[in-house]
Amino acid sequence: MDHRADGTESGDEHLVREAEKIAVALGRMFPGLCEVVLHDLRDPEHAIRAIENNLSGRQVGDSATELGLARIADPDYPSVIQNYPNRFPDGRPAKSTSIGIKNAAGEYVAALCLNLDVSVLSPVTLTLSNLVATDTKHRDQPLETLRDRTARELRRAVETRAAERATTPRSLSREDKKALVRQLQRDGYFDSRDAAQTIADLLGVSRATVYNYAK
């Protein structure tokens, strides 16, 4: 926690703590429907400060998304990105809004993000069409992915290895899977949270098998 020399809380930390109250309250107002995430942009590698009504599988301490990194790099990046299409890791469509929070110096210190699960809303009635709709100007390219960047890098490494053998990860031979798991271990991917389960899902094997391959 950031404090001044006299022991009082810094202005930036105060902003983040106040935003955390809002994140928790918003998430608890829409249980099972809207994920609310507070990113502390002062620590991009461990940016997630709070996650309420978790729908994306991320955890407190996970890294910032692409939007967070963009705000860190550019103080002139838009403060509010409203109603853009997104997608949860399991494929469910989402509608997202990201609100950047600046300190008195004009620097982004936090971002409050809302991810609405529209998969349960879109079939209900036409009266919900405005709630489900996203801005057309954002449809061509997703602004971010709702998962830890390490998981994305892990998936890319596995898919690249399979592509080199003109096949899919699940179709790799047992020996190729074993060699791939050992290479991922050497490259440090097992240091990330839930890496073994992610690899198991990609290769179509059990988590225990992944650990056996890594021995």
**Which residues in the chain are classed under CATH 1.10.10?**
150-214
Contact present, 25 and 53 (Cβ < 8 Å): no
pLDDT in tens, 76-100: 999 999 999 998 888 888 999 999 9
Q: How confident is the model at residue 40, as a pLDDT?
A: 97
Q: What is the DSSP letter of 3?
A: B
For residue 38, the surrounding DSSP H or E stretch is strand 34-40
Sign of the dihedral through C-alpha 164, 165, 167, 169: negative
11-146: CATH topology: Beta-Lactamase (3.30.450)
**Which residues in the chain are classed under CATH 3.30.450.40?**
11-146
150-214: CATH topology: Arc Repressor Mutant, subunit A (1.10.10)
For residue 194, give every residue at least 6 positions away whose Cβ sits within 8 Å of its Cβ, in sequence order, or none: 151
Query: Per-residue b/e over 27-46, b at no fewer than 16 CB within 10 Å?
Result: beeeeeebbbbbbbbbebee
Res 7 pLDDT > 50: no
Q: How confident is the model at residue 26, as a pLDDT?
A: 94
pLDDT band at 126; cut points 50, 70, 90: very low
pLDDT in tens, 109-121: 999 999 999 887 6
pTM flag (> 0.85):
no
Segment 68-73 shows an average pLDDT of 92
